[in-house]
A and B are shown apart, each in its own frame.
Chain A
């Protein structure tokens, strides 16, 4: 995830000039649906240019016990949107005395993200479980286009694992198979993408609720990638020492 570079914001609204700077969503977000729920996986790096401003960011924001949103893009924008939408969802569920469906929650997100699309830089994955439709994933990239997906990836690290996810997905996955696929995908993306790193967070949302597991790189369980032994050619005077 990138924090916006304020130095580039030299907008002159009086002239109607509002520069569209290049927006990088340095992050890795992977999500996959299985029979009975959804599995989400993220890295934990927030970078401001080449400086890592946070190495332990939590990009999974819980909205309710059965709904979480994975955030990428401008941290300020996504945090503010998540707070506002959480408020709306809580208010509706109190007024109507029943939980808000995941579909409706994704539509509330979409309405904000689309209406303020010119001022915001936010790309989210809405993931949750409800009794009506079971586990659901809604991908909302920048601009506000919302679709339900079975398997989705977002952020700069996602491009490196799209092929892996395409190959690995098949219908009727179990929860453990799904966790393994998502965890491996995060590990592969982090290995290749400079804007992704830190710890790996895996969340499982199903009827029982949400459970998040943290995998640290220095502890077992982290999705490591076996590094091939490099070929190194030494100069003759070093090799013969």
Chain B
């Protein structure tokens, strides 16, 4: 708990260990805000990420939109991160933190594989991620779905930025997760085939991409089984190519409302602003 100890003891900036955060710019930022400077706009990866375990393995998927306020900053952002050949992590949260955490996991697991001579396990990735994120008390904004197959079987874990972890049969994260989780809760069942699982993940992602304006554009899938890992993407659903037709008419037809009473009020024009 190096970060916690540093705060507790109020050590000087130069004495803080290199892996703790330095918050000394916060006073400067407060002063700037009081002077009227607008704070910088943060790049958010409003996201839908979904993962599902099925009979033989795991199917994981994510959309590919990165937003900066109301603008789409990146239409094809890669949210399914490689950890090892049979372990992948879908990430939601702060883009920079996700890239660094997943790169760190990938390198730690590769070194472990080389040192032990064994294939890395999903639970190991989970432990490393959880202990790293807990140490930073949630300030490293990484919300991951870590899934994969190792010699002990297929696994799916959900990791939050504050260090909470849960083992799940299906999971969704990100701003579009509210829509995606409803599809998963309804249609997930035990013993699905790869086609069913893949379709379920795509349906859940479609729900997220429809219902969340920060998710969309295209989706990426990865199917992990004991024998092989297949990366499928980018898949562009139909509704991302052309908008779906609007079936209802929002205008009222004339004569739809019965007129009960009419009252005419005459106004005198005192001053008019005609631009010639």
Contact = CB atoms under 8 A, between A and B. Distances in A.
Given A51-B178, A116-B1, A119-B4, A80 B163 contact: yes
Given A4-B138, A116-B1, A116-B4, A15 B162 contact: no
Contact of A79 (B27, B165, B178): B165
A238 interface: no
Contacts of B134: 76, 80
Interface in B10-68: 23-24, 26-27, 30
B128 to A, nearest CB: 13
Given A11-B23, A12-B23, A14-B23, 18 more contacts: A3-B162, A3-B164, A4-B138, A4-B162, A6-B138, A6-B161, A9-B138, A13-B7, A14-B26, A14-B27, A57-B166, A76-B160, A76-B163, A77-B163, A79-B130, A79-B165, A119-B8, A119-B137
B26 A12 contact: yes
B23 A54 contact: no
Contacts of A15: 26-27, 30
Contacts of B4: 116, 119
A162 interface: no
Interface string B148-171: 000000000000111111101000
A76 B163 CA distance: 5
Interface in A1-51: 3-4, 6, 9, 11-15, 46, 51
Interface residues of A, number: 22
26 contacts: A4-B138, A6-B138, A6-B162, A9-B138, A11-B23, A12-B26, A12-B27, A13-B7, A13-B26, A14-B23, A14-B27, A15-B26, A15-B30, A54-B166, A74-B162, A75-B164, A76-B160, A76-B162, A77-B163, A79-B130, A79-B164, A80-B130, A80-B134, A116-B1, A119-B4, A119-B8
Interface centre among A46, A116, A119 (most CB of B within 10 A): A119
A119 to B, nearest CB: 5
B161 A14 contact: no
Contacts, number: 54
Contacts of B1: 116
A4 B160 CA distance: 10
Nearest to B6: A13
Nearest to B24: A14
Interface string A39-74: 000000010000100100100000000000000001
Interface centre among A13, A14, A118 (most CB of B within 10 A): A14
A116 B161 CA distance: 20
Contacts of B130: 79-80
Contacts of A46: 166
A8 to B, nearest CB: 11
Contacts of B161: 6
Contacts of A79: 130, 163-165
A61 to B, nearest CB: 12
Contacts of B30: 12, 15
Nearest to B171: A54
B23 A13 contact: yes
B199 to A, nearest CB: 24
A137 B178 CA distance: 39
Nearest to B163: A76
B212 to A, nearest CB: 14
Contacts of B168: 54
Contacts of A76: 134, 138, 160, 162-164
A82 to B, nearest CB: 12
Contacts of A4: 138, 162
Nearest to A51: B178
Nearest to B185: A55
A29 B131 CA distance: 26
Contacts of A77: 163
A3 B162 CA distance: 9
Contacts of B138: 4, 6, 9, 76
B9 to A, nearest CB: 12
A81 B184 CA distance: 32
Contacts of B160: 3, 76
Contacts of B26: 12-15
A198 to B, nearest CB: 13
Contacts of A80: 130-131, 134, 163
B238 to A, nearest CB: 30
Contacts of A6: 138, 141, 161-162
Nearest to B25: A14
Contacts of A119: 4, 8, 137
Nearest to B178: A51
